Structure 1
Amino acid sequence: MSEIYDIIIVGAGPAGLAAGVYGSRSRLKTAILTKGKPGGQAATTQDLENYPGFSRGTTGPALMEAMAEHAKSFGTEIIREEVVDLDLDGEIKIFKTKSGNEYRAKIAILAPGAEPRSLNIKGEKTLRGKGVSYCATCDADFFEDLDVIVVGNGDAAVEEAMYLTKFAETVTIIVIHDEGILDCNKASAEVAFANPKIKWVWNSVLDEIKGDGLVESVMIKNIKTGEISEMETNGVFFFVGTVPKTEMLKGKVELNEQGYIITNDLMETSVPGVYGAGDARVKYLRQVITAASDGAIASVAAEKYLAEEEGFKERVLAVKEPVLVAFWAPQIEASIEEVFKLEKIVSEVNGKVKLVKIDTYRNQRVAKRYGVTEIPSVVIFKQGAVVEKIAGLCSDKELLEKINSL
């Protein structure tokens, strides 16, 4: 049987690498499983100007290499293995790889990333990062006073085109529909039509992107006439959606309709002990900085989860004698008084039972698991099983009777 890690992270983009830094620094045995070289999408972005603390001239590959070295310096193992299947339901999560190996961990952090939807146009792949972009927020200022083309006409495309007009001289949107018809909302369309920097090419699709090292021009095909014309441009922005790399997660954790991982603010997924981070999760902004933030949150939340789970197991579930678990909260005065009363009663029965106090303000997970909705409450365990649940206040006599009956 393979060794059991505390945390295994799937994906070595900025989310996965940040999770590795925070996990290993918390003295948790942490590994990252990645199909390719660490860095994810960010490693394909040649110029990176908007990551705080790194001024102009920083490259995506350099920043990602630094992140990977940072994670390894704290003890994170970065393992070149492609995960093809997972078993996330048990207490120990199992990761199956293409090579036939299995890895096991108490915590799974899923950071597989997402990728821009490609139209596979001639020249698109070759000139990516050399004038071909999928992110206005990332790259708009590289095109100051230059001419760019936008492919797409939905909400994201039109909104990003508006953003590009703050930098570019002209923004030409290529639209597959007849003149005046867009897929975006009406309000955005009206604003875009009124912007003098935005130009339109109707009934058309992009046929080819040309350039020697950098984008120089595009070939545009009119879908009604079949005519192909060339237009000079300095950049091409694609806004035709992104695709999360979550195919193997279907049926494992809750995904939204587009396939993105649904999490809460702690990056927790629908499965206990499983976290989502980075571009593959439902979120407002997909950038290196937000991915790194997700990874940090996921690891910190995972560390607290492990401490709570392992502490509860050691103090309650693995104990032979009966255990009274008192659920209280510092803001509820009656629950504090109840805890004092329980401490006194337990001391009087000469070690017949143990008392464990759970602060529900800090640990809601255990309370939720055992259906505790009222504070104070007492749950009595015997050899790891629940034998009694008392919601609200309880008299000394009633408590003593229940203890003596154990």
Structure 2
Amino acid sequence: MYKSVIIGTGPAGLTAAIYLARANLKPLIIEGPEPGGQLTTTTDVENFPGFPEGILGPQLMDNMRKQAERFGAEFRTGWVNKADLSRRPFTLSVEGLGEIQAETVIVSTGASAKYLGIPGERENVGRGVSTCATCDGFFFRNKKIIVVGGGDSAMEEANFLTRFASEVVLVHRRNELRASKIMQDRARANEKITWALNRTPLEVVAGESGVTGLKVKDNETGREEIIETDGVFVAIGHTPNTGFLEGQLTADEQGYLLVNPGTTETNIPGVFACGDVQDNRYRQAISAAGTGCMAALDCERFLEATELEAVVR
């Protein structure tokens, strides 16, 4: 029996772990097969406060983990494949660990960026392939960039990247865009954005120094070509990692968990959500860490209240 179990070890989960461990609550943190979350796939992180020269993503996550361990947080590796949140204590079924019971649960499982699933894509993440313009745009100053996607996210990313890039080519597999009219109009009014519509991405082309191009097929003619580029930003959406919850927590139409405004409280008392799993707007390491702090404080106050209630009874 644990007072609190944190599921996920990105910036949100690790920040929650630091706070709960310092409160002497001895939290258990369950980390999946990719500890550290999406930051472990990045290289230089230059927008996390406190590191004027930047820091490597994996190093930042390792530092946060060590900080939590210093105060007594317990880490165990496993995959939560089922959660029974119908009553307290909650029961988590963890592959490799069996069943674990917890008085409170913090869900910080993040959201996974959707990928195209083409050759050369995954192996070049951090070498020119990215899913976060805000995170990596700065590294492409005065370079030519491709953004793949046709929704609002793609338009937003393309517009943002024109702050740095010399040219942004927007590639989409259809002639029509899914983005709202206002977002399309903003992108079309941007002189730095050029268009390669009705083209299907086939392969990310790379050399020793990283990405050099994107091979695409013209869907009208069937002709294949390589669009030269220094970077490929995939902007086709994210998927919240909530499948194991089986719909027990209230979510929006995209699957992001809903919390009470100004808190990290879900629809089930004693269950809290923080980080990208409940944030479909910002998705930044620092904002995730902030909600991790909130979740820990919400969790601590919930435990204090329930313990006081038990004493009164």
Q: TM-score, normalised by structure 1?
A: 0.75
1:10 aligns with 2:7: yes
In the TM superposition, what are the counterparts of 1:246-325 in structure 2 within 5 Å? 246-264=242-260, 265-315=262-312, 317=313
Give the counterpart of 1:104 among 91, 98, 101: 101
1:211 aligns with 2:201: no
Moved over 2 A (4+): 175-178
Maintained 8 Å contact 2:215/2:227:
yes
Q: Aligned with 1:216: secondary structure? A: strand
Deviation at 1:177, TM superposition (A): 2.5
Give the counterpart of 1:189 among 184, 192, 212: 184
Deviation at 1:37, TM superposition (A): 4.8
Q: Aligned with 1:306: secondary structure? A: helix
Deviation at 1:71, TM superposition (A): 0.5
In the TM superposition, what are the counterparts of 1:238-253 in structure 2 within 5 Å? 238-253=234-249
In the TM superposition, what are the counterparts of 1:118-267 in structure 2 within 5 Å? 118-178=115-175, 181-213=176-208, 214-264=210-260, 265-267=262-264
Question: Per-residue CA shift, 1:333-367, capped at 9, x if unaligned?
Answer: xxxxxxxxxxxxxxxxxxxxxxxxxxxxxxxxxxx
Deviation at 1:100, TM superposition (A): 5.3
Shift in CA distance, 57/293, structure 1 to aligned 2, threshold 3 Å: closer
RMSD of aligned alpha carbons: 1.2
Q: Aligned with 2:44: secondary structure? A: coil
Question: Per-residue CA shift, 1:221-280, capped at 9, x if unaligned?
Answer: 101111001121100001100011111112321122211111122201110100011111
Deviation at 1:17, TM superposition (A): 0.6
Maintained 8 Å contact 1:37/1:80:
no
Give, as a single letter, the amino acid of the residue that structure 1 aligns with 2:35: P
Shift in CA distance, 229/283, structure 1 to aligned 2, threshold 3 Å: closer
Counterpart-to-counterpart distance in 1, 2:227 and 2:53: 30
Counterpart-to-counterpart distance in 1, 2:234 and 2:131: 5
Counterpart-to-counterpart distance in 2, 1:212 and 1:177: 29
Identify unmatched segments of 5+ residues in structure 1.
318-406
Counterpart-to-counterpart distance in 1, 2:201 and 2:278: 30
Counterpart-to-counterpart distance in 1, 2:161 and 2:300: 41
Deviation at 1:282, TM superposition (A): 3.9
Counterpart-to-counterpart distance in 2, 1:35 and 1:176: 34
Counterpart-to-counterpart distance in 1, 2:213 and 2:54: 26
Deviation at 1:294, TM superposition (A): 1.1
Q: Which residue of 2 aligns with 1:48?
A: 45
Maintained 8 Å contact 1:38/1:68:
no
Q: Aligned with 2:178: secondary structure? A: coil
Counterpart-to-counterpart distance in 1, 2:179 and 2:80: 37
Question: Per-residue CA shift, 1:36-55, capped at 9, x if unaligned?
Answer: 25311111111111101113
Give, as a single letter, the amino acid of the residue that structure 2 aligns with 1:237: F
Q: Which residue of 2 aligns with 1:78?
A: 75
Q: Aligned with 2:195: secondary structure? A: strand
Maintained 8 Å contact 1:131/1:235:
yes
Deviation at 1:183, TM superposition (A): 1.7
Question: Per-residue CA shift, 1:32-87, capped at 9, x if unaligned?
Answer: 01122531111111111110111334110000000000000010001011111111
| Bigger mean CA deviation after superposition, 236-245 or 207-216 | 207-216
Maintained 8 Å contact 1:48/1:56:
no
| Bigger mean CA deviation after superposition, 244-253 or 21-30 | 244-253
Identify the structure with bigger relative contact order (alpha carbons < 8 Å, sequence gap 6+): 2
Give, as a single letter, the amino acid of the residue that structure 2 aligns with 1:144: R
Q: Aligned with 1:279: secondary structure? A: helix
Counterpart-to-counterpart distance in 1, 2:194 and 2:170: 6
Maintained 8 Å contact 2:272/2:295:
yes
Give, as a single letter, the amino acid of the residue that structure 2 aligns with 1:222: D
Q: Aligned with 1:183: secondary structure? A: coil
Counterpart-to-counterpart distance in 1, 2:17 and 2:94: 19
Question: Per-residue CA shift, 1:90-136, capped at 9, x if unaligned?
Answer: 22111111125111111100111111111101100010111000011
Q: TM-score, normalised by structure 2?
A: 0.96
Counterpart-to-counterpart distance in 1, 2:186 and 2:77: 48
Give, as a single letter, the amino acid of the residue that structure 1 aligns with 2:114: R
Q: Aligned with 1:208: secondary structure? A: strand
Larger-gyration structure (1/2): 1
